[in-house]
Chain A
């Protein structure tokens, strides 16, 4: 039970595994760093999309796109985390679509990984040395075998009212 189970490959089993002490995350990568979002928040995973730029919008807002007739606001998670923007847009960026209070947002990342079911025992609060901005956007860290997974706090990540003052 202490193993990390790639839930996508075991369709039948993950209902049993994801009991109280396990939570499932969609993993994604930016600059090699692994991030996770609770799987229940995720609506879709998208490949490269045609995005309409929105002039005058905050720089983190990459634009908006059409997802089956709904308008989705694309957020560049890189810029949101104050990481440098990608040097050249290779056009293979992937996005994770989340629903926030009825509005859809797509979080643009470098790549999206598999779905992991993680035991609560491996969860830890943010180390105090973490960049305050990252601490703000992260609920905590999972210790994986050979890397660390930062759990993104999606509501905070999409709360632009606070960060504008910064």
Chain B
């Protein structure tokens, strides 16, 4: 028999027995929850048999579903008569099924009588048709007996087994509870069992359905067995001539095989859940006259069986929806210039401890306007609420129960049974579903299911005597370092790094991170687990590395969930409990925010675009927990000073540094250094002076494109920038320089002050960073600064008649560079005589020459703040004198 068909029979058989029970429950207690479950089951039967080409079954189920739909919408009330009718409908389905099982074809004949009754009931003509109620009995009882039973099962034997087994245990309670119920369900039951007898003998024999709990228990027992085996092996090890050695070896093998076998029972490739889809899509494409290309990627991704079961139906629903509603008919696609063949893409993969399943189509997208109407009509939101919502928010309404935008109810979908069930099922297993839709471009669903049930391969490491597991999937490589190997760990102010193939790899010490303590001892060798999370690569320092092991991730106890370093825990083969490290959490704790793959891809793309704009920034903490940053180019050195060496002069802390006194400045003015140990200090050198800025901790050096938001007038701060996803205050190094030196030697700014008053400066620089850095500096010095991002814009200012006292221009700029700009300025117009200062990071003698040639008054290296101010002052006074 066709695999698909046999699976359908098994599945439907199960659904039918559930339905019997549920219907009886419904009659006693018409709860919407029970009703929607019944409705869903019947809907699934109908849907599936539609695709398997079983028209007779489909019409019966469809008619039954119609009546159930009326129940659900409250148009009909649940009466015993109605339930009897539904049960009769189910019995007819069973009858047809048993025939299919025997012959692989639907039986001859039709179900007009039953369908007429059902339709009448659906239209509410229930009372009028009530004489027909007793009819189902003769219909039902009569139908199966003449047709399938004689050929399928020996008749005399079937009824006794029925009497003996099925009705008694399951129906006695309902007898006691409600007599009419029992009466109406008994005839149904007698017909159910004859059909089940042959069924169980044929299809059910191939597979056995086992309760997952049983498998869980089995798994636990096997783990115990492994443990015991390991203990035994331990005991025998050492005396090879033991008579137990050989049998133990066998036991060991068998145990391993058993363990693998039990493990396997839980895992299935997701492809199993997809197996039905190509056929469903094919049949749909024929029925709806659409051309559909179904692509399935990652079918081998393994999923826990239980999870798989739960997402199977949702997936089918969603693919069906995509094919039915999502994709436009071929003619329409042709009209709007899309490829004729509509695409549905299923993609499954592991990502960061989750399994992601994407279902995307390139169809018309959700009809947002229509959803808005439905939401309004259904009273789910008011008009004003709706107006506030974005299209994506409105789209989320499709996950509400009973929500469907299909214009008409087709046999395929459009009853609103789909998406709310999908969502409920996914949330049941702790997953999430996301929806993205774009008008005319398509819709995609992203299902994210936690990996907690899945098996992962993990690397076992040891640190400070404790063992931890790291998911193998995020481990790139292992590096062994010894005290005198070429791969040595180097330290920048307590921040360990490793030179790895011409790159500097940031390291985190697991010992420090997890506060394991006992770090004082010197190890002759350490291992570095090079780990990748998104686009961020870092190394985790551990003491030892063991083997890799397959582990089943179990969630940690609720009281430990807040510890982001662990994604779960597990029991190893030797029986010990081990924590599983979460690379995401570790990366997060180092200050690196790791977004989704998409975000990182976008970020790296953006980074490539603006590669030339990237700045090296030293990130540190000082005077509070906020991150602070300073352009690395400004920092001369990073030093650590013994606290004992700090002296005081005029009440100010100083330290002897390279034969001179170096003043120390703190970020907030208060002098609050450590009382012992070493104090990290950023040294700013400025010609022959130097100054130490006392910081609490150096966090990182990042190279990033900076966008500095100017802050309110807070002395010492240029503004705030987003560095590695975190707000970072960019400090004004110049401010601290004057703090250190201004008090003793007089502010160097003062001498320029007079010149600067009210002078207008044009700043031309393509880098927003520099514009933002220099503008406030110059403003502070008393200049009025106009900044533009290109030479062209500057020249157009000249055309529009603006006047300036001086121009500061960058040299390296896209489009017209600084030299060309200077030539253009000097060539003609009103700016011919304005002093021009060139600004560049390439301050070589040759550049100076060239700069003077083309007309620059002076040439200043970038970041040399004082030189810039001095040069400006000189140029301006020279101009004033002239």
A64 & B557 in contact (Cβ 8 Å cutoff): yes
A71 and B554 in contact, given A50-B576, A52-B577, A52-B579 (Cβ under 8 angstroms): yes
Give Cα A71–Cα B579 distance, bound, in whole angstroms: 11
CB B659 to nearest CB in A, in angstroms, measures 46
B466 touches A (CB below 8 Å) = yes
B425 within 8 A of A: no
Known: A64-B577, A68-B220. A55 touches B559 (CB 8 A): no
Contact A52 B565 (CB under 8 A): no
**Are A66 and B577 interface neighbours, CB within 8 A?**
yes
Select from chain B the residue with minimum beta-carbon distance to A105.
Answer: B557
Most B CB contacts (10 A, CB to CB) among A53, A56, A58 go to A56
Q: Is B728 an interface residue (CB 8 A)?
A: no
- Further pairs besides A66-B571, A105-B557: 19, Cβ < 8 Å: A52-B467, A52-B578, A54-B563, A55-B579, A57-B560, A58-B559, A64-B569, A66-B575, A66-B576, A66-B577, A68-B224, A69-B220, A70-B220, A71-B554, A71-B569, A71-B577, A73-B560, A103-B558, A160-B559
* CA–CA, A103 and B575, complex, Å: 19
Q: Is A61 touching B560 in the complex (CB atoms < 8 A)?
A: yes
A64, B221: Cα distance in complex, Å: 19
Q: Is there contact, CB below 8 Å, between A61 and B559? A: yes
Cβ of B214: which chain A residues have Cβ within 8 Å of it?
none
Given contacts A65-B577, A69-B223, contact A53 B559 (CB under 8 A): no
17 contacts between A and B (CB under 8 A): A52-B577, A52-B579, A53-B466, A55-B466, A55-B565, A55-B579, A56-B514, A57-B559, A57-B563, A65-B577, A69-B220, A69-B221, A69-B571, A71-B569, A71-B577, A73-B559, A160-B559
Query: Is A46 close to B, CB under 8 A?
Result: no
Provide the bound-state CA to CA distance between A66 and B554, in Å: 12
Q: Which of A56, A65, A70, A73 contacts B563 (CB 8 A)?
A: A56
A98 to chain B, nearest CB (A): 12
Query: Which of chain B's residues has its CB closest to A57's CB?
Result: B560
Q: A105–B571 Cα gap in the complex (Å)?
A: 16
Residue B369 is within 8 A (CB to CB) of chain A in the complex: no
Chain A nearest CB from B575 CB (Å) reads 5
Per-residue interface assignment for chain A, residues 128 to 160, with 1 indicating a CB less than 8 Å from any chain B CB and 0 otherwise: 000000000000000000000000000000101
Tell me the A28-76 residues at the B interface (CB within 8 Å).
Answer: 50, 52-58, 61, 63-66, 68-71, 73
Name A residues whose Cβ lies closer than 8 Å to a Cβ of B: 50, 52-58, 61, 63-66, 68-71, 73, 103, 105, 158, 160
**Residues of B with C-beta under 8 A to A71:** 554, 557, 569-571, 577
Residues 538-576 of B at the A interface (beta carbon under 8 Å): 554, 557-560, 563, 565-566, 569-571, 575-576
Bound Cα distance A126, B467 (Å): 43
Tell me the chain B residues, 288-311 only, with Cβ under 8 Å from chain A. Answer: none
Counting CB contacts under 8 A, is B516 at the interface?
yes
Residues in B neighbouring A69, C-beta threshold 8 A? 219-221, 223-224, 571
A123 CA to B665 CA in the complex, in Å? Answer: 67
Closest residue on chain A to residue B559 by CB atoms: A160
B-side interface residues, number (CB < 8 Å):
26
> Which residues in B have their C-beta under 8 angstroms from that of A160?
559
Name which residue of chain A comes closest to B562, CB basis: A164
Given A70-B220, A71-B569, A54 and B558 touching (CB < 8 A)? no
Q: Nearest Cβ in chain B — how far from A77, in angstroms?
A: 14
Main secondary structure of the interface of B (DSSP, over half): mixed
Chain A residues positioned under 8 Å from B516 (CB to CB):
55
Smallest CB-CB separation from A56: which chain B residue? B563
Nearest A residue (CB) for B560: A57
A52 — which chain B residues lie within 8 A by C-beta?
466-467, 576-579
- A50 contacts which chain B residues (CB < 8 A)? 576
**A65 → B minimal CB distance (Å):** 6
B515 at interface (Cβ–Cβ under 8 A)? yes
Select from chain B the residue with minimum beta-carbon distance to A159. Answer: B559
Closest 8 CB pairs of A and B: A69-B220, A55-B514, A73-B557, A160-B559, A52-B577, A69-B223, A64-B577, A56-B563
Contacts of B467 in A (CB 8 A): 52
Q: Which residues of A contact B224 (CB under 8 A)?
A: 68-69
CB distance from A15 to the nearest CB of B (A): 28
Residue in A closest to B517 when the chains form the complex, CB atoms: A55
Chain A nearest CB, measured from B427 CB (Å): 18
Give A18 Cβ to nearest chain B Cβ, in Å: 30
CB proximity of A50 to chain B, nearest CB, Å: 6
The chain B residue sitting closest to A65, CB to CB, is B577
Closest Cβ neighbor of A51 among chain B residues: B577
Q: Report the nearest B residue to A69, measured CB to CB.
A: B220
Least CB distance, A103 to chain B, in whole angstroms:
5
Contact A103 B565 (CB under 8 A): no
A-contact 0/1 string along B569-610, CB 8 Å cutoff: 111000111110000000000000000000000000000000
Q: How far is the CA of A9 from the CA of B224 in the complex (A)?
A: 31
Residues 54 to 109 of chain B near chain A (Cβ within 8 Å): none
Tell me the complex Cα distance, A128–B578, Å: 43
Cα distance A54–B563 in the bound complex, in angstroms: 10
Q: How far is the CB of A48 from chain B (nearest CB, A)?
A: 15
Q: Which residue of A lies closest to B217 (CB)?
A: A69
Q: In the complex, what's the smallest C-beta–C-beta distance from A78 to chain B, in angstroms? A: 17
Most A-side CB within 10 Å, residue of B220, B570, B571: B571
Q: A54 is contacted by which of B219, B554, B560, B576 (Cβ under 8 Å)?
A: B560
In this complex, what residue of A is CB-closest to B579? Answer: A54
With CB as the reference atom, state the residue of chain B lying closest to A50: B576
- Choose among B221, B554, B557, B569 the residue with the greatest number of A CB atoms under 10 Å from its CB: B557
A residues near B221, Cβ cutoff 8 Å: 69
Knowing A68-B224, A69-B224, A71-B577, say if A55 contacts B515 (CB, 8 Å).
Answer: yes
CB-CB < 8 A to B577: which residues of A? 52, 63-66, 71
Smallest CB separation, B359 vs chain A (Å): 32
Contacting residues of chain B (510-532) with chain A, CB-CB under 8 angstroms: 514-516
